[in-house]
Structures are given as C-alpha cells and as structure tokens.
Structure 1
C-alpha cells in the first residue's frame, strides 16, 4: 500500500521521500519501481524528516495499534518533527486511538490526521477512496495531494474532509462493516444458487455477470463473477476447493460493538461478523453435520424467475445495510459532536474503495437532495425500490428457511425492515417483564394515559397484587 501510494503521488507531479525501517527495501524500490520518478530515498528516520519541506507532510502506513504509536515517537524523538508538521496515519487504526493521538500531538503543536484508505494495493496505485479526519488545520496543506491521488467519480475526487479527531477512521470502520455485510449477502446468494438451485460455478458466474450490468453493478459483484469463472489446473472450480473458514481483521467487529454501544440496530453487519465466527467452527460443524438433521433442498418452478427474485432480495438487503450504516454514522456525529457530511461520505465510497458501486450514486443523490434525511428508506427512490423488491425478497427468505440454507444477512435485513415499519412492537411486554422482576418501570402510551397512569411518567406496578399497587414518578427530560 505504501509503495503504491508513493508511485501514485509521483505520477501526479509530487516529489516524495520514501522510508522503510528495512533500508534494503528502500534501495530495491528506488532501483526498480521508482526508477526515473520524482522519488528520493531516506535511510534513517532523521534523514527522512530532514529531506521534507516544512510544514512536513508525513504519511505512515504501518500496522494498526502500538506500531503507529511507536513510529510517531520515532518521528518526534529521533526524526526531529517540529510544531506545525503534519503526521498522517493511513492504516486501519481504531478511531478512539486516532482521537487520542490527535489530542496528544495537538499538545505538541503537531497536526495529526487519521485517514481511512480503501481500495487495496491496486486502489493505492491508481486511485483509492480516502477518508481524512483529525486536526482540520492540516487539511489545506494535504488537500491537494490526497485529492489528486484519490479515485474520481464523475470527475469529483473520492476524498473530502470527514471531521474532527477520529472521524476519518470511524467512517472507514463503518465502510469496512458495510463491506462485511455486502460480502455475506453475496455468499448467501451464491449458496442459494449452488445448493438450492443446483447450479454450477460457471452458471453462477453467468448470473453475477448479468447482475453486474444492472442495479447491483459493483466491485464485489464483479470480482465474484471472476472467482466463479476461475478454474484450477485440473479444470475444476477453484473456489469449491477453498476451506470454508473465513478470517477477519477486526473492523467489522469494531462496527458491531460500536453499534451496540450507541444502541443502534445495525443488525446486518453484526450477523455478517457472527457468520464468519460460525464458519471458523469448521471441525465442530463437521461433527454436527453427522447428528443434526434438516431438509434437503429441492427446487421446482421457474428458475429464471427465482433468480430474478434473488437479485431483488440482494438489492433490498443492500439498501437495508447502507441505511443501517448511515443511521450509525448519523448517531455517532451526535454522540461525538462531529460534523459528518453524509453526501460527501457516500461520494467518497463511489470510487476506489471495496464497496464502490453504482448504488452509491443514488445514495449520494438522496443525501444531496436532503442532507438531513432521517433514513434512506424515507427517500422516494429507495422507498420505491424496497417496495418493488419486497415480494421476491420474501420469497427467497421463505424458500431458504424451507430448504435449510442459512441466510442470516438476508433474514436479518428483512426482519429489520418489518420491525422498522411496525408502529407497535411487542417491546411493551418486555417492559412489563422488566418491571415485574426488577422494578425497572415503564411508560404508558399517550392514548392510554389517565389519572392512574399519567403520560411521560416512570411507573412501577406490583404485578403480584400483594402490598401496594402502583407507584409513579414524573419524568423530566
């Protein structure tokens, strides 16, 4: 990533100083990939700092966690970084660490920026999505570099200032969480076609190729098509030989934990994380498969129509996933007092990053038309899309249940939709139960309020009828 970002910056007319703790790597880089480009090498951290013009713009791409802190201290103590200099962390750091580093370095006069970078090695080389946040005083000095090397969507750079402190890495975290959800949805669609419809890898690849020309046109659908078409040397599908135990680096988990901390129902990302956890129980699942029975999928009917239903189920579930992701971003802005720009965030995700898709153009348009839009589902375009997709979506989830094919992401997306559109949920019973066993109190519905049970009041009832009956305390917001 670091090497490719250096080459990218050099291609855009910037002179770049390259440093790696393994100095032999710097020499090899200068002799090969960087030869003839406006790139100079440094063989020590002090030389690296000295070769930069002030205010120095120094970007780190190292492993998240302690290595970032260690490298910052090297820049301060051995490198001789000075007040006014700018340090940019382009790794996948956890946003609270970025907030801490911003505050720490601000006390030393150093402007710190934590920026999410998405797009992998190829994106870094030819234009990634870049999500900077931190000390906003740094933005005028780094804007030209970051926007020039970023991807472009309809001529606009996929890089804008996100917000204070850890906001940039927070938005990258949510991006990665949505990425988890998108990938899980695609794998469920693949499983339904493979086991439910009995389709070959080539046939499934043909479906993804078709989907990539419509509303699902995206990087992840495109690479899934390529994966399904890829055969091993013996002519068989390579993907079918890969062990079904998924790894994860933590950003999806961070998103799910943060959603729980903020009390936001980001259910699809949570299920995507748990699906990976379940996949890791490979040997245990092998034993369970021998003793736990279930139905054998048998399809009858119009296969092409069902595949169209599956496309709609995937599209509708993606709408829910992004709606949940922006709900989380919106709530985080209030909680952490960040000024997060939702239209610009959607724009930054339109190009260069892993979740890039034509779908994000519609999200950008929705938030530009109404920046304070409460939920994507209230936008006319997405409201119509979700209603159009609903019959096929329900058919797919119902069939998967009858076939015994797990669809945690499809199912939780539909459950969220049904819960979100329900005026009266059974949480009234939950509140009664909580009051019964723990005297946690409850509120009465406005239309049911009376002298005994006043509105906006915390009420406790002695449900056994022994002793007192009702106690109430007026609630003040």
Structure 2
C-alpha cells in the first residue's frame, strides 16, 4: 500500500486494543485504513499485527488526516469524557466541510447530543456508535449501534456491515435512531450486562458456599448450562474462567483475584437515567450497588467477624437445588433483559428516538457481550409487535416466566434463610411480583405524602386531584360523613400557609 496522501478509506484515532482490532478487521475485509495514536508503542503494534495488510499507523495528526480520502471518515475510540472533547478540538481544524467524525467509545448520550450540534455548526458530520464485543469482537465481528446523522451512517454502512458479526447471514449492526440513540442503546446494553454479571456472580456464591461445590464442579455446572437454554457469551467465558489455572500453579487464577469489582460508569448512567425516566430497573440498580459495596473490603471483613457466623449450606437434595438454581437464573435473566427493554421503550418515547426494539434485539444476538439464546425470544416478541408495552406481556415469554418462577422462589427463600447474599435474584423476583400486582399498597404512600406535605392524591373512579386536612383527625370523633368531609378538590395549598387544624406545610419530600 502506497504511503502517499489520499490513499486510505477510513481513519481510527486511538490504537488501543479495540481501535487496533477494528482497523485490522476492516483491513481483512479489503478496506485500506489508517490509525493515529500519540503512543509510539501502539503505532508499532499496529504495524506488527497489520503486516502485509492495507493498514498504516501515524503519530502526526496532520499527516494522518491528509492520508484519508475525502470526504474523510474518521472514528475515535478513546476514553469517554474530556479526552473525546480534546481529540475533537485537535482534529476539527484539520478536517474539511463534509467530513465524518464518529465517536465509537462509551460516551454519555448527553455529551453526544452536544457534540453533534457543535460539529454540525462547523459543517462536519458526527454520530455516536456503541461498539460491543470486547477485543475479540472488534477483531472478528462486533455488534455495533450507530445513531445520529443518518446520511453519514449511510456512507459508512457498507464498511460496518462488512466487519460486523453475522447471525443467520444478517450483520449485527443497524441504525438506531436520531440524536444520541446509538450511545443510549449501548448504555442500556451495558446496564443489562451489569445485571447479568451480578446474577452469575451470585450463582457462583450459591454453588460455592450454599452447595459446597469445588471449582471443577462449579465449572461443570456453567458448562452444562451453556449448552442449554441459558447459552450466552457471559456463561461461555465463565466456564473458561473455571478452567484457567494461575500460571505455574495447580489452582485457578480466579482464587487469587480480589473480590472488589470495578466499573467505568455506564451501569451507573443507566440507573441514573432510568430514575429520570421513571422506568424501574431494580436488578440493574442492584448490580451497580453491589459493585460499589464490594469495594469496602476492609469494612466487610470487620462486619463478617462481628456478625458471624458466615452463611451456611442450603438444605435439601443437591440435585433439586441445582434444578431450582437453573430456573432462578433463567427467570432473573429474563427480568434483567425485560427491565432494559422497558427502559429503551420509555427513552424512545421521551427523546423521540423511534427505537425499534426488535432490531436492537436482533443485532445483540451476535458479537456483543450480552448475546444469548434468549435474545431470539426477545426479537420474536418485538418483531411481532413493536408497540409491545413490556416484554412480560408477550404470549410466548409468559410460559417461560411461569415455568421458572417457582424454582426462583424456592431458591431465593432457601438462600435468604441460609444467610446467602443474593440481592440481584431477590430484586428480580420483587420486580416481577410488584408488576403483576394489580393493586399495590402505594395508596398508603400517597396518603402519607398528603398528610405531611399536602402533596394531594387522586381517587378511584373520581376525576380530579384532592387534599385532606389530616392534622388533628386522630383527636376527633369522625363525623358521619367520614374523612370525605375533609376532602377538598385539587387546588394545592400555597407552600408555607396554614389551613384550619393544619401545621405549616412541609414541601421537602
């Protein structure tokens, strides 16, 4: 490949593992590509790994930009946050109107919205694209979630479809929607990932502590599960972890790893935006919290000594408990996916993304970290009805839930009784039980809020918003009309004023 300018069809900024592997993937598919990094070591690695391929690395940003055919298409794969803005600031003066800039990192969706507007004002095309699959996916076929500038994506579509993972011959990449839709979908993907990983970790705890299985037996359980309806990428790598000894030893590397989980923030972002949109995702929230809790190792050791004894083994026949555990995992896995899909539906409505949940499930079936056999069921559910309000309403998902919830109840009850920590499991069951409850006790919360803060409430079968003067009612004999006599329709009182028999209003809660 000639080194003269205007040779390369695509550029990559950031030649870490992901960026380098994506470039090599493109080169394997016949695309001439250039890479840029300020680290000489990364540029040298690209040269070594790309030997004989149409790929070249640069350390000079101007030479890099000039080497790419116009209109240029350049992708960034750098850490989210200020670094993305600094790269954009560095590149913008070197680009020409009509050039395309792509953020392939895990940027927060609000940053993507801002950057798109800023670059559009400079006549530059920009879109955010989530990339899932890790280093192996990047090298041999990732799942990709582009969104934003639709015309710019069409230019890149042949490249991304060529390098994406394939399922039944279909590429695992598709345009998600306008604005920051691509990065939003990837963020929720990562939230689901958090939930699934926490469930697998809790399963490991049940197998190890609750059933007393050794590492070989635990590895066999994960291997068997991965050959059935639980088949997934995360279980596949988990079985491999239980077969990997620490170098030069006869024991698992896993046993040498500290039990303090780290995170890069995408799970937290998922929880935060879910609360903003009032879309409950308790299993994902719990997974985020458990990573945080795990970091308090010293405190956990102190509390373990103070509040012992440690959790005991689960009672009952071991094979029956294993059967219940498989059902519990399947049930909780469904709940984790269902929470994520519900959040996507709410976000699509709020942010006008026009997301197609069937398409999202379709491209998640291959290449990405959360790929699993169950995604076929999700795809079928939303392919049949893209307006489906919730995955649990699907007629074919319902029997899967009903067939596994009994095992989940038995397993969770036994684990809690034995002192085993299974918070993600319990949150999944609580989510399901609450959602299938036609009348929740939340009416009491509304009464309490109205009592202490005059926040008002609504009545069953009656239009309007109401407030009751609750203060002092406990000291009075109720009139024949009952509490209705104290109800006033819905003009909320002015904060700080007094009404008859009422203390100053508290609006803090």
TM-score, normalized by length of structure 1? 0.94
Distance (whole Å) between structure 2 residues aligned to residue 250 and residue 114 of structure 1: 17
- Which residue in 1 is equivalent to 2:221? 207
Which structure 2 residue ranges, 5 or more long, are not aligned? Answer: 1-17, 477-484, 493-509
Cα gap change, 1:44 to 1:231, in 2 (>3 Å): closer
- Which residue in 2 is equivalent to 1:449? none
How many angstroms does 1:474 deviate by? 7.7
Deviations 1:412-460 (A, max 9, x none): 00000000000110100000000000000111112xxxxxxxx121111
Q: Is 1:259 aligned to 2:266, yes or no?
A: no
Q: Is 1:345 aligned to 2:360, yes or no?
A: yes
Deviations 1:316-363 (A, max 9, x none): 111111111011000011111111111111111111111111111111
Does the 8 Å contact 1:294/1:404 carry over to 2?
no
How many angstroms does 1:29 deviate by? 2.5
Equivalent position to 1:410, from 425, 428, 438: 425
Does the 8 Å contact 1:102/1:113 carry over to 2?
yes
Cα gap change, 1:118 to 1:28, in 2 (>3 Å): closer
Give the match's secondary structure for 1:40: strand
How many angstroms does 1:230 deviate by? 2.2
Distance (whole Å) between structure 2 residues aligned to residue 188 and residue 120 of structure 1: 23
Give the match's secondary structure for 1:122: helix
Does the 8 Å contact 1:60/1:89 carry over to 2?
yes
Equivalent position to 1:151, from 165, 174, 180: 165
- Which residue in 1 is equivalent to 2:489? 472
Aligned residues: 464
1:19-418 paired onto structure 2 within 5 Å = 19-23=36-40, 25-30=42-47, 32-77=48-93, 79=94, 81-232=95-246, 233-293=248-308, 296-418=311-433
Distance (whole Å) between structure 2 residues aligned to residue 45 and residue 370 of structure 1: 48
How many angstroms does 1:298 deviate by? 3.4
Does the 8 Å contact 1:295/1:403 carry over to 2?
no
- Which residue in 2 is equivalent to 1:462? 469
- Which residue in 2 is equivalent to 1:9? 26
Structure 1 window deviating more from structure 2 (286-295 vs 178-187): it is: 286-295
Distance (whole Å) between structure 2 residues aligned to residue 374 and residue 253 of structure 1: 25
Distance (whole Å) between structure 2 residues aligned to residue 198 and residue 24 of structure 1: 46
How many angstroms does 1:266 deviate by? 0.6
Distance (whole Å) between structure 1 residues aligned to residue 141 and residue 97 of structure 2: 30
Does the 8 Å contact 2:314/2:415 carry over to 1?
no
Which structure 1 residue ranges, 5 or more long, are not aligned? Answer: 447-454
Does the 8 Å contact 1:350/1:360 carry over to 2?
yes
TM-score, normalized by length of structure 2? 0.89
Cα gap change, 1:34 to 1:238, in 2 (>3 Å): closer
Q: Highest relative contact order (Cα 8 Å, sep 6+), 1 or 2? A: 1
Does the 8 Å contact 1:157/1:348 carry over to 2?
yes
Distance (whole Å) between structure 2 residues aligned to residue 27 and residue 415 of structure 1: 52
How many angstroms does 1:25 deviate by? 3.7
How many angstroms does 1:113 deviate by? 1.1
How many angstroms does 1:40 deviate by? 3.0
Distance (whole Å) between structure 1 residues aligned to residue 294 and residue 170 of structure 2: 40
- Which residue in 2 is equivalent to 1:437? 452
Distance (whole Å) between structure 2 residues aligned to residue 185 and residue 319 of structure 1: 11
- Which residue in 2 is equivalent to 1:450? none
Give the match's secondary structure for 1:304: helix
Distance (whole Å) between structure 2 residues aligned to residue 302 and residue 362 of structure 1: 32
Distance (whole Å) between structure 2 residues aligned to residue 343 and residue 107 of structure 1: 34
Distance (whole Å) between structure 2 residues aligned to residue 421 and residue 368 of structure 1: 24
Give the match's secondary structure for 1:132: strand
Distance (whole Å) between structure 1 residues aligned to residue 308 and residue 365 of structure 2: 44
Deviations 1:62-88 (A, max 9, x none): 1111111111111112x2x11111001
- Which residue in 2 is equivalent to 1:452? none
Give the match's secondary structure for 1:443: strand
Distance (whole Å) between structure 1 residues aligned to residue 89 and residue 316 of structure 2: 65
Does the 8 Å contact 1:456/1:474 carry over to 2?
no
Distance (whole Å) between structure 1 residues aligned to residue 109 and residue 260 of structure 2: 28
